[in-house]
Structure 1
Amino acid sequence: MIRIAIMGAGRMGTLIRTTAESAVDAAGAPAFEVAAQVGFDLAAAETAPAADVLIDFSNVACLPAVVSYVRRCGCALVSGTTGYAPEQLDELRALGDIAPVVWSGNYSIGVAALRHLTAQATRELPGFDIEIVECHHNQKADAPSGTAKMLLEAVEEARADDALHPVYGRSGMCGARDAHEVGVHALRGGTVAGVHTVSFFGPDEEVSLTHRATSRQIFVNGALAAATKLVGKPAGFYTFDELMF
């Protein structure tokens, strides 16, 4: 049985807890024990019981509490919080010196496949204009989404173009489209769990790749699967692909 601690008591934190508490292993025994869950009172992280792994789907303001808990307990960390500044991601990477850590903007297996397909299409469609559109519920705090940033990185790595650069939305007399730009657009509304589309526009043809999440459950399942694989790993900063594939 894996002891987990959860950072965040919102929709994702609650769903992680209920899913973990009902999960069983191959022998039918409980797969997880929830040792602690930290909500709005971040000071509670200082005295929360130690766990094998901390699962964090909270927000950037919780990072100091996350770092403090991992350093105190020496536990693994599964982080799905998005909106971090580069220096905050550096703090997470530094935790890899003392514990196994995985961070991802998306824990869906389908999105992992979309990322691979995006890189493949970028290589095989040279000269095509690329646009990334993401859509999320009206309560999402950061934009563009962490997944959209990951898809942008897949494009940047697959296309050898030092002049390639993102353009976040367009307005006014912006002129003709630069062949070296990648448009990144964020839509917000309703209760959308997450839709990501990467479109490739060429002469007289278009190719679009779309992943549509119909609930947050897919992210919870991926995070718990990552936690299972991460516990017992050597200290280090891992990617979701490295753990799952």
Structure 2
Amino acid sequence: MTRIILCGCCGKMGHFITQLVSERTDCEIVAGVDLNVNAQTASYPAYTSIDQVAEAADVIIDFSHPSLLTPILHYAAEKGGIPAVLCTTGYTAEQTAELTKASETQPIFYSRNMSLGINLMLELAKKAAKVLGDQFDIEIVEKHHNQKIDAPSGTALMLADALASVRDGETQYMYDRHAQRKKREKSEIGIHSVRGGTIVGEHEVIFAGNNEVITLSHSAQSKELFAVGAVNAAVFMSGKGPGLYDMSALV
């Protein structure tokens, strides 16, 4: 039985994960962490700070806020290297470097999208980029609800980074094409953001060549799929040694 500390337990994703775990027999939530603990109605204790958690646990799931990264990493280290599944988006480059450094001595699972389908799409996109080479231009379009703060999405950047890793030469990310008065460069990957309504999350990778276009797309119908990915990752990470893990371990 995998014992979980859930950070962000009172948020939307926290409620999804709480419900999901209650229906499983291979894991349980032993404590929650959230600034708004008054909204917590689950059967486990909840605290306003992770430092207050005294319950023994096997793994931490974080769906809270980027500002809590450092306290979570410190707590995990102090408890003997509890694995941390980091699902929060919007980390700065410095924070990404921090969690990468921590993975040298702690087991860290980090993915900017917890959907198995998105991570399969990522692998397919990398394969396509290798086969198509520089004869095809690459554009990424992401769509999300009107409450999402960061743009482009972490998933769009994850896709772009994966594509850049298999391309020859230097790659430039183009976010603001309307400000450029020049032809498209072969080295570019265009990244475009749409915000509106209640769109959960849609991503397209467009490979545009001469007289043909290939499109890979993924549409999330509910945030529940991210909860499933996070809990599966938590069960997978229980007992793991130091290192930086991601969804490719589950694909």
Whether the TM-score (by the shorter chain) exceeds 0.5 is: yes
Hey, what does 1:39 align to over in structure 2? Answer: 34
For these two proteins, the number of residue pairs brought into alignment is: 237
C-alpha separation in 2, matches of 1:79 and 1:204: 42
C-alpha separation in 2, matches of 1:92 and 1:81: 12
Hey, what does 2:143 align to over in structure 1? Answer: 135
C-alpha separation in 1, matches of 2:22 and 2:106: 24
Seen in structure 2, the aligned counterparts of structure 1 residues 77 and 202 have a Cα distance that, compared at 3 Å, is same
C-alpha separation in 2, matches of 1:172 and 1:239: 35
Task: Note the C-alpha offset of 1:166.
Answer: 0.4
Matched, 1:104 2:108: no
How do residues 143-154 of structure 1 correspond to structure 2 at under 5 angstroms? 143-154=151-162
Task: Note the C-alpha offset of 1:43.
Answer: 5.0
Task: Note the C-alpha offset of 1:99.
Answer: 2.7
Aligned partner of 1:120 among 127, 149, 159: 127
The range that moved more, 205-214 or 70-79, is 70-79
SS of the residue corresponding to residue 236 of structure 2 reads: helix
Hey, what does 1:62 align to over in structure 2? Answer: 68
Hey, what does 1:230 align to over in structure 2? Answer: 237
Instruction: For structure 1, list consecutive stretches of 5 or more residues without a partner in the other structure.
Output: 25-30
SS of the residue corresponding to residue 125 of structure 1 reads: helix
Seen in structure 2, the aligned counterparts of structure 1 residues 34 and 173 have a Cα distance that, compared at 3 Å, is closer
Matched letter for residue 2 of structure 2: I
Hey, what does 2:22 align to over in structure 1? Answer: 21
Matched letter for residue 2 of structure 1: T
Matched letter for residue 22 of structure 1: E
Aligned partner of 2:87 among 80, 105, 120: 80
Task: Note the C-alpha offset of 1:72.
Answer: 2.7
Seen in structure 2, the aligned counterparts of structure 1 residues 205 and 199 have a Cα distance that, compared at 3 Å, is same
TM-score, length-scaled by structure 2: 0.89
CA offsets, 1:64-115, max 9 Å, x none? Answer: 3312321232311111111111221122123323431110011111111110
Checking the alignment, whether the CA contact within 8 Å between 2:27 and 2:235 is kept in structure 1 is no
Checking the alignment, whether the CA contact within 8 Å between 2:34 and 2:48 is kept in structure 1 is no
The range that moved more, 201-210 or 165-174, is 165-174
Checking the alignment, whether the CA contact within 8 Å between 2:125 and 2:205 is kept in structure 1 is yes
C-alpha separation in 2, matches of 1:172 and 1:191: 29
Hey, what does 2:4 align to over in structure 1? Answer: 4
Instruction: For structure 2, list consecutive stretches of 5 or more residues without a partner in the other structure.
Output: 37-46
Hey, what does 2:201 align to over in structure 1? Answer: 194
How do residues 149-168 of structure 1 correspond to structure 2 at under 5 angstroms? 149-162=157-170, 164-168=171-175
- The alignment yields a C-alpha RMSD, in angstroms, of 1.6
Matched letter for residue 233 of structure 1: K
Task: Note the C-alpha offset of 1:172.
Answer: 4.1
Runs of 4+ in 1 over 6 A off after TM superposition: none
C-alpha separation in 2, matches of 1:107 and 1:59: 16
Task: Note the C-alpha offset of 1:211.
Answer: 0.5
Checking the alignment, whether the CA contact within 8 Å between 1:83 and 1:142 is kept in structure 2 is yes
TM-score, length-scaled by structure 1: 0.91
Task: Note the C-alpha offset of 1:140.
Answer: 1.5
